[in-house]
Structures are given as C-alpha cells and as structure tokens.
Amino acid sequence: MHKTAQQIYTTLESKRFQYVDRARQCSKLTIPYVMPDEGFGSHSKLDTPFQGIGARAVNNLASKLLLALLPPNAPFFRLNIDTYQLRAEGSPEELITEIETSLQQVEEAVMDEISREAYRTGIHEAVKHLIITGNALIYLPDDGGMRVFHLDRFVVKRDPMGNIIKIATKEDIAFSALPQEIQAQLGSDSDHDTLQLYTAVCREDNKWRVFQDVKDIRISDGFYDIDKNPFIPLRFSRVDGEDYGRSYVEEYLGDIQSLESLTRAIVEGSAAAAKVLFMVNPNGITRPRQLAESANGAIVSGQAQDVSVLQLNKFNDFRVAQETMAQIKDRIGHAFLLTSGVVRNAERVTAEEIRMLSQELETAIGGLYSLLSTELQLPLVNRLMTVMNKNKSLPKLPKDLVNPVIITGVEALGRGNDLQKLDLFLGGAAQIVGPESLMQFVNVPEYFKRRATSLGIKTTGLIKSQEELNAEQAQFQNQALTEKLGPAGIKAVSDQIKDQPIEQ
C-alpha cells in the first residue's frame, strides 16, 4: 500500500529541523521576513536587527545573481544543433544555417515567455532564499506562472549522488477551492475553513508520480517524464550525503553575528552617552531649581565648581569596537560583492581599478554559478519549453538533434576572461609594432568573430564574409577607376584590350 502525501511529508520532516533552525538564525540577522519563526502570523512581530549590512549584502548578491542567471537583454541559453550528425546525413550547409536561424527564433520566444509571465520575480525570491536559507523549491504548473515554496513548507530526499528521489510540500487551501466531489466527501458541515493540502512527487520507473491529498483523500494523481518535473528543488551549495543545501549567509554567520553584537553595543552605548545629566554639589551654594528654571543667558548666583556634567569616558572603548566593525564590514563586503565597501579609501581611485576589482570578485564566486546552472537554469528551460509545447506556442524539437546549453554563469565568466586576454594581447602588440602596422599581422574578421563569441553575440548576418568583402573591394576599385579615367578613357582601354591578338 502506497503512503499518502501527508505520511511522506511527516516522515521526511524530522530530518529537516536542523536546516530550518539554521535558516531562521541566518534570517534574523539579514532579512527577518524570509524565514520567520514557527507560528508567525498576521499579529506577530518580527525582530529588527541593529545593523543593515546583512540585508544590503543579501539584496546586492541576489540582484547580481539574478542578472547573471537571467540577463534581461539576451538569452541565457542556446539551442545547440548536432551539426556533425546533420552533415553525416548529407544535409547542405544552407539547411544547417536555416535551422540555426529558426532555433534562434525559438530562443527569443522562450525569453519573451519569461518576461511576459514575470518569472524573474519568482527567481529573485528563490535566489534570496538560497542565499539566506540555502534551499528553495519552485513549481511551474502546466498553465504557466511560478510559485516558490520556502524551506519550512517542503521536504526532499536525495540518493548518495544527489539525485532527487522524493519531494513533498504542505500548503493551506480554502475549503471552497476544493473540487465539489472532495467537498462532498469531507462534509459540508466541516468546522474548518482552511485545510492542509499535501503534494508528493515520487520517482517511479523513470517517471515522476505526482499526487495530492487532503485529510487522506486523494485529489489528483498523474505522471510526468523524468525530464519534465514541474517541481524543481534548488540548493545553494552541495554537501555530500545531505538532502539539503547550505546557505551563503551560513558560511559568514560568524562575521554577521559579531557585527550585530558590536553594532548593538555601540548603538546602546551611544544612546547612553547622548543623555545629558547636570550634577549639582548638594553642599554648594548653587541651587538646582534656580539652574533648571533660568533662561539662556540669565545671570544667577553660584559657583561653577558646584556643577558638573556626567560623562561615560568610553571613547577609547567605542573606538576599538568601531575599528573592529570596519574590518568585519570589509570582509562581508568582499564576500557579498559590495564593491563600495571594498574599494580602497584614497583620493584617486581609477575606474579601471574598480572594474578590475569587481571582475576579480565576480570570478571568485564563479563556483556559485555552477550548481545553479545545473539545478536551476537547465531544468527551467526544459520545463518552460514543455509548457510552451503543450500550449502550442512552441514547436516540438527533436531531442536527438537539439539540446539547450546554458551560456551564462560560469560560461559567461570564462568568455569574459577570454575577451580580457584578447584585448590585452592586441594592446601589447599595438605598443610593439604600432596601431598602423598591427593590421598587417591581425586577421580582422577572425578577431571580430572571437570577440563576438566572447560577448555571446551571434555573428550570422552581422559580419561580412570574405566573398562580400572581395566584391565590395572590386566595386570600389571600379568606381575609383571610373572617376580617374572617365567614361571615354574606360572605353578606350576596353577597345585596346579587344584589339590585342589572342596567343594560340
């Protein structure tokens, strides 16, 4: 007998507690609403941290990752065609070029679907959860759209290789939103307006079985192909033997906790130091009431020695705490790509220095892209293409010839490094032989192709072929000859060529 979705969720829930507790600890110090405490409701209050560096760091890194994973001005994937197999079958080059042009239109259609359905909003929410909690689950239904499940609303089980075996979710559903036959089974006199809906996704015989239960009553049951699972579990970092990932905030939790404690100490100490208290000697001749009620600039009788101001004399202690905070903020700035926090404090900081520093930092987190490319971008593309195929808004592509390939993230960083090396090479060569002589040694069309490849730009129809260049050069020479000789001179030269005897 198969387990119900609720039984699967309850069984796997016990292995998730330590991850949820750690996620809530990270959320309290960064963005508290991302993972609030258990039982949080409309009448609950969130704790407010004393520092805002954690929230700023998370938002900054989430925005950078979103732009890297889903760039707004270009596709983040490319449909690669197996040109070797097509050539082996005797397909002409013109047909291959036409197929590549059609695939480019398919890529643009998928990107239009992402913009139209506002998938970037859901991905941005998921990336925030990945940075803070280390885990998220996105659901892409057949009718479009996206939903993000938080860590305290789903469970997952993986095999030793990290492949998904089971997924289960828990969510609230209104009684009126259930099908009529399910409402009849539950009874119309039910005393609850909201019920717990459990969804389970289990791998069975190279298929995904997805079923839903409410109070052990089966609502739906269906199967999906192994590469068309609508539920995509995400993790920020992979730990061997663990079903869940670890967050980026958790790796720097010590620094963030220290910054929180020091900020709180300085804020509370500064508030105490800002309080002004005048103390009057009880044995002196100065009267406290006369001093309190006197207007500014008034003349009163008394002695200055009778009045003193309470001081904490904690300036040196606050200075030590402030310097320690500055060091911690620099470390957090480096880790979360806060460029403004890692640029050296000097009068002249060049734009090139800032650019190289930013590129160095983004290259340092290149490992963050690799797992997200495999577990987020590629499944997202496959699922979106499946949904669009069902909606008849995209043609069905043969799997044995066309496969999506991710071209952002680590691949984009690699192409960026190639572009930087290419520009450095040409700059050094120009210094040796001069810019004018450089054209004698460099193949300009090939340079354009390599530069476009590094930038991820397709050159079809953009860069002129060698035949087009030769034709334009011949036309230019003919025009120059016409301007130099004139029509009469060209006719005389043509007649002279015709009158020459042909050697046998």
Same domain for 233 and 280?
no
Last residue of a domain, one of 210, 235, 251: 251
Q: Is 351 exposed, middle or buried (0-12, 13-18, 19+ CB in 10 A)?
A: exposed
Look at residue 359 and tell me if it is in a domain: no
d(CA 423, CA 457): 17
pLDDT at residue 346 is higher than 80: no
Same domain for 240 and 318?
no
Give exposure, 258-286, as e/b (b: 16+ Cβ within 10 Å). ebbebbeebeeeeeebeeeeeebeeeeeb
In the chain, how many domains are there?
A: 2
Look at residue 492 and tell me if it is in a domain: no
Same domain for 156 and 263?
no
User: What's the pLDDT at 96?
Assistant: 64
Same domain for 240 and 317?
no
Check residues 201 and 277 and name the one with the higher pLDDT.
Answer: 201
Look at residue 394 and tell me if it is in a domain: no
d(CA 237, CA 109): 31
CB 51 within 8 Å of CB 149: no
Look at residue 40 and tell me if it is in a domain: yes
User: What's the pLDDT at 345?
Assistant: 58
Look at residue 481 and tell me if it is in a domain: no
pLDDT band at 190 (very low <50, low <70, confident <90, very high): low
Same domain for 87 and 236?
yes
pLDDT tens by residue, 97-108: 667 667 777 888
d(CA 265, CA 174): 47
Same domain for 31 and 135?
yes
Same domain for 30 and 103?
yes
DSSP-H helix ranges across 373-465: 378-390, 410-433, 435-438, 444-455
d(CA 149, CA 440): 60
Same domain for 302 and 231?
no
pLDDT at residue 181 is higher than 90: no
Last residue of a domain, one of 294, 319, 335: 335
pLDDT tens by residue, 456-495: 566 666 667 667 777 777 777 767 666 666 666 555 656 5
Domain of residue 265 covers 254-335
- Reported as type and span, the H/E element at residue 36 is none
pLDDT at residue 353 is higher than 60: no
Tokens, residue 113? 């679907």
Long-range CB contacts for residues 91-100, cutoff 8 Å, separation at least 24: 97/460, 100/460
Look at residue 460 and tell me if it is in a domain: no
CB 170 within 8 Å of CB 198: yes
Look at residue 219 and tell me if it is in a domain: no
Q: Which residue has the tokens 């559903």?
A: 173
Look at residue 9 and tell me if it is in a domain: yes
Same domain for 232 and 274?
no
> Considering only CA atoms, which of 58, 202, 228, 209 is closest in space to residue 129?
58
pTM reported for the whole predicted model: 0.76
